[in-house]
Amino acid sequence: MFLGRLMGWGLLGLALLMASGDVVLALGPGDHPGLVTGDVWVLLAGHTLQTEKLPFSLCNVLMACPAWALLPPLGGMLLWTCRPRRRRHRFHPAHY
């Protein structure tokens, strides 16, 4: 559970860094198209993702999104699923 929360916070922090980097580059001179998820995938994996022949597949849509837009939902989902919970006791022992 702790590792899941740590990874969730890490993904949220990485998304914040990516978004702030895009803002800084966008404020500079010249044209800046932004960093898309497909570019990050190529940097990490070393090859492009093999997509289907369909022009509007879900994979193509996700790879065209900004890199910082996909990480917060993943981090939030990890934080929500790995949150500390109170234990519920279904049957309480009888007090005599």
Give helix 67-81 / helix 2-27 axis angle, nearest 10°: 160
For position 7, what pLDDT does the model report? Answer: 94
Report pLDDT for 94.
Answer: 67
**Has residue 86 been placed in a domain?**
no
- pLDDT of 26: 85
CA distance 2 to 61: 32
Range of the domain at 33: 2-81
Q: Which backbone phi and psi does 25 adopt, to 5 degrees?
A: -70, -35
Residue type, 95: H
Domain-located, residue 89: no
Could you read off the pLDDT of 35-84 as tens digits, one per residue? 888 888 888 888 877 766 666 778 888 888 898 898 899 999 999 999 88
- 91 assigned to some structural domain: no
Number of domains comprising the chain: 1
Per DSSP, the three-state class of 36 is strand
Residue 34 lies in a domain: yes
